């Protein structure tokens, strides 16, 4: 919107004031020269006027009230595409096509004061360009004339547009950012309130993006984000908006919808397109995507609530592993629970409210209790016992996994020290996360704890998963080699469910493989699972490793595992995770009998 001409104290006014002051001095000299008929002074005045005109970097015109140009410098002629000889035949008003009303208002005011405004100029060839115009009245004769300074502000406007674009778009993908998305969401809400037409907000989050970043580097992550952005942008309708909210999170605004089903159909199509594999430096990158949908006015009627509902639905899609999820009130309650747990988990770690339960590991040959796996547990004051998968995931998301790991180590080693002082020859196994495996300080931390509790390093087994190791194999290898060199034992947990290679397995300084319970549970009913268990045992023994079978739940599986040479077993058949005093009782009973009678044992605790 063009501003009205108005007095101001800006630097532009100062410039125009200097011009007008100089012209006024020249006018006075001209009058004085006429009075004394001094030709020399008149000549000097004329030279000063020409100097002001021609030496200025600005385009300058002196025009009459009706618009006729009395004088113009070469800058004005060049700016508008005329020659110095032809520019004076134009009306100044014909040169300005926008902002002209402001110029006329200034001219029609007696003793017009200095001011400036933005407008549009029109060149001789008809092209238009943005200009800045300053106008003021000057007295060069009996009737007033008007001095105009005109500047081409094309580059300034372009720079302003670049700054505006940068403020509203993501630098990496050039998609609208959160600010612009929120603005368009406000417009969609206003339109929908008038028309009653539903629209949808979709939140899309990439799966396994962190693995790409950690494994291939941030440049590869940037490539993924740009590729996904281009795919999403090419797949939406012209009326839709795709935005990057930050990290690997995108938002899509889908106006003009007929139903929830249409939103689901469009979103499912976007997810399928986004997660197609693509090549990066000869490596096939296969990422997934999870999307949550909230529909106006069905799920929410405000901007913030729509975004919250879509976010809740997206996390539900991740947890349910169904890629796309539409908001439901029940999912919202879970989300509120997650928000509560996220804040309370930090307090629980700091206040020592996390405790350990121990699951026994039984030697299948002798029936003796060899050791235990230490498992973190949390009993929330309001929510009761929180599933380990839930609060460990919270710790991962909220940067608390290191604190949780260190607390587990401290509690586990403290209990191990107590058992050893009581002459109970047990070992303790503790799980390490991917983040722990990348912590170069971990070996030193563990060694200090081992020294503090006065235990032997080989009494401690550290369990790592294939997936955690493969996030960054080289960095993980450096850490596990130091752990092994310090005397700690290493185990591959959930073997068979990850994507490690045999080459890495042969290089890893591990002592045992733990067969994932998904294979053990079905080994008597599914020939494929039985072969996997048998092959894993053979492989481990050929590599000089012990084998632990997880998920042992009945006597038939115990018998079969012993027949095919499995070394150690753990599972509900021998006992659920239990408190340390129950482990003491279990070892005493096993020590007396030296025979595996898990049913009887389970019935007694």
Task: Give the pLDDT confidence score for residue 37 in this predicted structure.
Answer: 46
Q: Any idea what the Cα angle at residue 302 is, between residues 301 and 306, rounded to 5°? A: 85
CA–CA dist 449, 405 (Å, integer): 13
pLDDT (mean) for 385-389: 86
Mean pLDDT of the chain: 84
Task: Give the pLDDT confidence score for residue 202 in this predicted structure.
Answer: 97
Per residue in 584-594, pLDDT (tens digit) is 998 888 764 44
Per residue in 38-48, pLDDT (tens digit) is 555 555 656 66
Task: Give the pLDDT confidence score for residue 518 in this predicted structure.
Answer: 83
| Between 381 and 417, the higher pLDDT residue | 417
CA–CA dist 509, 46 (Å, integer): 96
Does the structure show a pLDDT above 90 at 283? no
109-113, 340-344, 486-490: least confidently modelled range: 109-113
Does the structure show a pLDDT above 50 at 254? yes
In 3-state terms, what secondary structure has residue 121? Answer: strand
Residue of 380, 306, 385, 305 lying closest to 343 (CA atoms) = 380
The pLDDT-based confidence of 486 (bands split at 50, 70, 90) is: very high
Task: Give the pLDDT confidence score for residue 598 in this predicted structure.
Answer: 45
CA–CA dist 92, 553 (Å, integer): 96
CB neighbour burial string for 333-352, b if at least 16 within 10 angstroms, e if fewer: eebeebeebeebbbebbeee
- Cα–Cα distance list, 159 to 165, 166, 175, 356, 459 (Å): 10, 10, 19, 61, 67
The pLDDT-based confidence of 7 (bands split at 50, 70, 90) is: very low
Task: Give the pLDDT confidence score for residue 594 in this predicted structure.
Answer: 44
The pLDDT-based confidence of 11 (bands split at 50, 70, 90) is: very low
CA–CA dist 305, 185 (Å, integer): 12
| Between 297 and 284, the higher pLDDT residue | 297
Determine what percent of the chain is predicted with pLDDT higher than 70: 84
The pLDDT-based confidence of 26 (bands split at 50, 70, 90) is: low
Residue of 136, 114, 2 lying closest to 63 (CA atoms) = 136
CA–CA dist 419, 427 (Å, integer): 9
The pLDDT-based confidence of 341 (bands split at 50, 70, 90) is: confident
Per residue in 307-337, pLDDT (tens digit) is 999 998 998 888 777 789 999 876 665 566 7
| Between 114 and 163, the higher pLDDT residue | 163
Per residue in 529-581, pLDDT (tens digit) is 899 999 999 999 999 999 999 999 999 999 999 999 999 999 999 999 999 99
Task: Give the pLDDT confidence score for residue 183 in this predicted structure.
Answer: 95
Lookup result for tokens 């309130």:
193
Total length of the chain:
605
pLDDT (mean) for 441-462: 95
Q: Which fold has domain 169-327?
A: Alpha-Beta Plaits (3.30.70)
pLDDT (mean) for 201-226: 88
CA–CA dist 348, 341 (Å, integer): 10
What does pTM read for this prediction?
0.52
Per residue in 497-519, pLDDT (tens digit) is 654 556 667 788 999 999 988 88
**Main-chain dihedrals φ then ψ at residue 396, nearest 5 degrees:** -65, -45
Cα atoms found within 13 Å of the Cα of residue 84, Cβ hemisphere only: 9
Does the structure show a pLDDT above 70 at 179? yes
Residue of 359, 388, 356, 355 lying closest to 372 (CA atoms) = 359
Q: Any idea what the Cα angle at residue 225 is, between residues 432 and 501, rounded to 5°? A: 40
pLDDT (mean) for 473-501: 83
Per residue in 348-370, pLDDT (tens digit) is 999 989 999 999 999 999 999 99
First to last CA, the chain: 81
Domain 11-158: which CATH class? Answer: alpha beta
Task: Give the pLDDT confidence score for residue 497 in this predicted structure.
Answer: 60
CB neighbour burial string for 549-585, b if at least 16 within 10 angstroms, e if fewer: bbbbeeeebbebbeeeebbbbbbebbbebbebebbee
For residue 451, give every residue at least 6 positions away whose Cβ sits within 8 Å of its Cβ, in sequence order, or none: none
For residue 520, give every residue at least 6 positions away whose Cβ sits within 8 Å of its Cβ, in sequence order, or none: 529, 533, 549, 550, 551, 552, 557, 561, 571
pLDDT (mean) for 120-144: 87
Annotated domain spans of the chain? 11-158, 169-327, 517-574
| Between 361 and 32, the higher pLDDT residue | 361
Task: Give the pLDDT confidence score for residue 592 in this predicted structure.
Answer: 46
pLDDT (mean) for 39-60: 67
Identify any residues that bridge with 91 across adjacent strands, giving them in sequence order.
68
């Amino acid at each position: 919107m063009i501003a009205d001409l108005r007095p101001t104290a800006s630097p532009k006014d100062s410039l125009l004031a200097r011009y007008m002051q100089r012209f006024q001095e020249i006018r006075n000299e001209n009058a004085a020269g006429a009075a004394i008929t001094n030709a020399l002074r008149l000549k000097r005045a004329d030279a000063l006027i020409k100097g002001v005109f021609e030496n200025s970097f600005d385009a300058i015109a002196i025009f009459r009230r009706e618009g006729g140009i009395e004088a113009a410098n070469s800058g004005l002629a060049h700016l508008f595409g005329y020659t110095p000889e032809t520019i004076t035949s134009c009306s100044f008003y014909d040169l300005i096509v926008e902002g002209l009303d402001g110029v006329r208002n200034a001219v029609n005011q007696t003793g017009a004061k200095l001011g400036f405004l933005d407008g549009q100029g029109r060149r001789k060839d008809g092209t238009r360009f943005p200009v800045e115009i300053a106008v003021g009245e000057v007295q060069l004769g009996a009737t007033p004339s008007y001095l105009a300074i005109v500047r081409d502000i094309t580059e300034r406007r372009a720079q302003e547009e670049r700054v505006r674009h940068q403020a509203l778009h993501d630098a990496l993908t050039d998609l609208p950012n959160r600010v612009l998305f929120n603005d368009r969401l406000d417009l969609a809400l206003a339109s929908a309130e008038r028309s009653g037409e539903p629209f949808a907000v979709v939140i899309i989050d990439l799966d396994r993006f962190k693995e790409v970043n950690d494994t291939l580097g941030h440049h590869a992550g940037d490539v993924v984000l740009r590729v996904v952005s281009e795919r999403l942008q090419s797949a939406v309708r012209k009326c839709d908006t795709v935005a990057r909210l930050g990290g690997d999170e995108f938002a899509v605004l889908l106006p003009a919808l007929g139903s929830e089903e249409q939103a689901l159909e469009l979103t499912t199509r976007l997810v399928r397109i986004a997660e197609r594999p693509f090549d990066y430096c000869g490596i096939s990158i296969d990422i997934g995507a999870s999307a949550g949908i909230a529909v106006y006015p069905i799920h929410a009627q405000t901007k913030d609530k729509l975004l919250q509902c879509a976010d809740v639905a997206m996390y539900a899609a991740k947890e349910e592993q169904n890629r796309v999820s539409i908001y439901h009130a029940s999912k919202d309650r879970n989300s509120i629970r997650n928000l509560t747990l996220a804040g309370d988990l930090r307090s629980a770690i700091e206040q020592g409210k996390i405790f350990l339960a121990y699951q026994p590991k039984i030697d299948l040959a002798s029936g003796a209790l060899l050791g235990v796996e230490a498992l973190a547990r949390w009993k929330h004051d309001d929510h009761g016992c929180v599933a380990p998968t839930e609060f460990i995931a919270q710790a991962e998301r909220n940067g608390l996994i290191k604190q949780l790991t260190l607390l587990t180590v401290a509690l586990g080693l403290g209990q191990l020290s107590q058992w050893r002082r009581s002459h109970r020859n047990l070992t303790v196994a503790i799980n390490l996360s991917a983040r722990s495996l990348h912590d170069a300080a971990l070996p030193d931390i563990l060694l200090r704890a081992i020294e503090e509790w006065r235990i032997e390093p080989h009494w401690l087994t550290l369990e790592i998963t294939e997936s955690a190791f493969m996030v960054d194999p080289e960095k993980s290898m450096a850490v596990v080699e130091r752990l092994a060199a310090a005397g700690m034992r290493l185990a591959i947990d959930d073997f068979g469910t990850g994507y490690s290679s045999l080459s890495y397995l042969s290089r890893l300084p591990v002592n045992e493989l733990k067969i994932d319970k998904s294979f053990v549970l079905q080994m008597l009913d599914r020939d494929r699972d039985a072969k996997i268990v048998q092959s894993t045992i053979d492989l481990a023994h050929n590599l000089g490793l012990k084998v632990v079978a997880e998920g042992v739940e009945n006597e038939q599986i115990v018998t079969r595992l012993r027949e095919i040479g499995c070394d150690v077993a753990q599972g509900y058949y021998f006992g659920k995770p239990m408190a340390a005093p129950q482990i003491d009782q279990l070892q005493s009973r096993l020590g007396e009998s030296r025979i595996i009678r898990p049913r009887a044992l389970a019935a007694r605790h």
